Chains A and B, each alone.
Chain A
Amino acid sequence: MAEKQLQSTLAAAAFQKQWFGDLRRRVFDERQPYALIQADVPFELFDLLEIPAVSNQWWSSLVAAKRQAPAFLAAMSADGIPDQLCRYCSLGLATTRYPNAGEAPWGGLPAPRMLCARLTCDCIHRVFSLWADAFGTELFEIEHPAATELPPRWWELTRNRWRELIEPHRLEFVAATLEHLIERLESISERRLDRAQLRERLARVNRQEEIFDATRQLIAAAPATPVRMTEQIANVMATQWVRGTDWAVAHAQHFHDEVRARVDSGVAAYDNEKLRLMWVGAGLWHDTDFYTAFEDSHGAVFVWSMYLAFGPDGYIRYGLEDPLAALASRTASFNEFLHNPPWAAEWTVAQALEHRIDAALVLHPKSMKPSATGRIFIESALEQAGIPVLAVEADVVDARAWDPVAARKTVATFLDQRVLQ
């Protein structure tokens, strides 16, 4: 594994481990409630009502990074659940349903007081229903009305014109659903949500994402990328799960300042950068070394993933007079920006051009079916913009079918034959 170049990366990892340890202590020793939720659920509501929330995707990535996913997923296969089904959203379920199959990180997930999921993909209701059964706990579902009008260049509308971006009937419905979620959380926590505090929290989320925006600009404009993509992700995601908190805003600033200092000093993540790569899709959590594997051989450095870039473009909402409506506008179309045509393709190309990308590697996640859609448009748009594309067939948490040597060889051939020529 490549050495960590930023102090903030070490601080982020330490914070997460400490945070999870505190969570287990609170749950087991103090019998406090916590929630297990999908990454696109508004964490702010849980935090403001003092119900800590664990992200399903974060937990899956952690299990995969600890090389435990194959054991749990093999147990799920042996239980008759087809291998073709989404592993990213269900790996956490597998750690609960088959607890003896592997060793869950950091002592495993305690039983949550609530599971909460937004019903984006068809599988979410089913995965979370099974998980709620396994824990014997309640499930709150956020229904997902579908967008029928998808205005172009969505990222130019999210900050100030979000009422134009999200159709009124969808915005109203999601806001009403969030009201019900608040009622349920208030009942669990025996506290009342202070709307002024919510507005203040969202303003702080804006502040955090503005810092990320500045960091993104630094990375895009620097002669050579000052921070590896993997370290960008580690810092951004540790922050996003607790977004808008004191620690999150301070950490975003710490990360920015370190990047700024490296840029000012002319320090690059890799000294001999020749090619700038982008990774399109969720992270390859079971093999993050993949992202530094082409530095010495080709001078190829991964500069961009969605994780940093999506923060400012996806989260910032100005005009917080009705904070719940603003939050609903983010929730209503959250990850659709990353997958649905025409949104995903035009944003990816815009990001590629801004970051002076030489080649793109696009994840083809066989089991994550909705995430796998739209890529045909992304790939053709990138190619039309003059950016060579390599499709990478992989599951982001399931390493069982992943051949790291063959994958690296394929990428090397692609760089030799399509990019360096």
Chain B
Amino acid sequence: MSAGAIDELRAEFDDPFRKLGRDAARDRGMVVMSWPSVPVELVRAAGLLPVFARGRNTPTPAADRVLEPGLFPNRLRQLVEAALTERLVNVAAIVLPRSSDPDYKCFLYLRELARRGIAAALPPVLLFDLLHSDDQDARAYNADRTRDLAARLADLAGRQLRADDVRSAIVSANRARAAARRLHSLRNDSPRIAGADVLPLLGAVWQVEPERYAALANATADALAPRVPLEGRRVLVAGVPVDTPVMHAAIEAEGAVVVAELSPFGGCGTSVDVETTDDPFAALAGHYATESIDARLPVNALMRKLDALLGTAQAVVLSQPEEDASFGWDYPRVRELLARRSIPHTVLSGDPAFGATAADRQRVRSLLGSAPARPEIRGG
């Protein structure tokens, strides 16, 4: 069961976006999104399936003609490439969250490309405008936007969306989150699985039907629990959130184990359940506003998440690709936090979807050479 479960989860992480454009009937049930700051519960409650564009090492010639270099991350180039090569013609919608300037600009670009006739056939392109400020006005605004998105998705799906449908989707997604947390817990004190292997299994939570995900993730956790813990320096990956396991693999090729990552596709993407309250739209809005890990999450919230993730990490790798405009500003605070915890770190500048550059690999080797040999108990 476990090998099959792992294979299925891995396939569910890798395949859905890649397979778009091959089966029109299947595509019609899909909503393509650029980052998991959109409540997938709404998509599922509308009877649709969420699919995420993520970074890949495949070229994007069509996208490169309309997106300025150095501004858009790989995942958005992949999304625009798919849009321009008519692979998204049949999907129900493209939804971009306001989780970063590039995501928002991608929304505007897609609409403009359609208006100018450059993107010949696009499905509806929607924006989910989520504010991260934590005050009453922002909470009300977010709840309103969440209701608006729910109505649009329901309209596209041709069905009525009741609050009970959304509540049910939340309960179901929380079961998947619990299973993901169980899987992630096997990385903490004595890692039973390499980071490059587990990230796809955790990241699949966003795309797999929740009950199925819970079954697969629990089966995987059952199989992994008796394993002998892995040796090697324990590394946390932070900085710009990664959406592929490629950087993990590069770090682990140097003999380390990636035990956590500050990314919604890793363990901290499912660390907290959505509350089940009278108003499920407000609950979703509140959850995604505080839990979404993206470029607009306030720095204090991000630092708290990073602090909580450090655990037994012996070294930290910060991803700082060229297109970042936000996370690099956290560096002084991150450096200070890590210094307080006596954890060494390094900064990698390559595109995390393409693997480590030679210079990045050398930085990882130097880092691991300087990391303490054994986990130490550190104060919080």
Contacts and interface: CB of A to CB of B under 8 A. Distances in A.
A81 B331 contact: yes
Interface string A81-98: 110111000000000000
B144 interface: yes
Interface stretch (B43-51, B153-161, B274-282, B294-302): B294-302
B137 interface: yes
A130 interface: yes
Nearest to B145: A169
Interface stretch (A12-20, A281-289, A370-378): A370-378
A375 B270 CA distance: 38
A377 B104 CA distance: 16
B109 A341 contact: yes
Contacts of B329: 81, 85, 123, 126-127, 130
Contact of B112 (A81, A143, A377): A377
Contacts of B66: 376
A221 interface: no
A107 interface: no
A141 B323 contact: no
Contacts of B98: 146
Interface string B105-123: 1011101100100000000
Contacts of A341: 108-109, 111-112
Contacts of B100: 122
Interface stretch (B126-134, B178-186, B224-232): B126-134
B332 A79 contact: yes
A245 interface: no
Interface string A115-150: 000010111011101100000000001010110101
Interface string B63-75: 0001110110000
A370 B299 contact: no
A404 B138 CA distance: 46
B332 A143 contact: no
Bin the interface of chain A by size.
35 or more
A340 interface: yes
B324 interface: yes
B300 to A, nearest CB: 8
Contacts of B115: 342
Contacts of A123: 325-326, 329
Contact of A125 (B70, B145, B296): B296
A173 B137 contact: yes
A370 B329 CA distance: 16
B141 A169 contact: yes
Nearest to A125: B298
A129 B299 contact: yes
Interface in A27-83: 79-82
A84 B324 contact: yes
A250 interface: no
A366 B131 contact: no
A370 B325 contact: yes
B330 interface: yes
Interface in B165-187: none
A173 B332 contact: no
Interface in B314-366: 320, 322-326, 328-332, 335, 347
A369 interface: yes
Contacts of A81: 328-329, 331-332
A375 B109 CA distance: 11
B86 interface: no
Most chain A beta-carbon neighbours within 10 Å: one of B108, B129, B144, B328: B108
Contacts, number: 109
B101 A122 contact: yes
Given A81-B328, A123-B329, A341-B108, A373 B71 contact: yes
A196 to B, nearest CB: 25
A351 interface: no
Contact of A369 (B71, B127, B138, B300): B71
Nearest to A79: B332
Nearest to B320: A82
A278 B83 CA distance: 34
B299 A376 contact: no
Given A122-B100, A125-B296, A377-B112, A143 B138 contact: yes
A150 B110 CA distance: 13
B331 A130 contact: no
A150 B329 CA distance: 31
A82 B331 contact: yes
Interface in B49-98: 66-68, 70-71, 98
B57 to A, nearest CB: 21
Interface string A355-387: 000000000101001101111110000000000
A189 interface: no
A176 interface: yes
Contacts of A82: 320, 324, 328, 331
A177 interface: yes
Contacts of B295: 122
A389 to B, nearest CB: 14
B112 A148 contact: no
A146 B112 contact: no
Nearest to A364: B68
B325 A85 contact: yes
Contacts of A369: 70-71, 101-102, 323, 325
Contacts of B145: 169
B266 to A, nearest CB: 21
Nearest to A85: B328
B299 A126 contact: yes
A148 B104 CA distance: 9
Contact of A122 (B112, B131, B141, B326): B326
Given A122-B295, A143-B131, A169-B141, A372 B322 contact: no
10 pairs of A and B residues whose beta carbons are closest in the complex: A126-B329, A341-B112, A122-B326, A82-B328, A369-B325, A122-B295, A370-B101, A373-B105, A146-B129, A143-B133
13 contacts: A84-B325, A119-B133, A125-B296, A130-B329, A141-B133, A143-B138, A145-B129, A145-B141, A150-B108, A177-B137, A341-B108, A373-B68, A373-B101
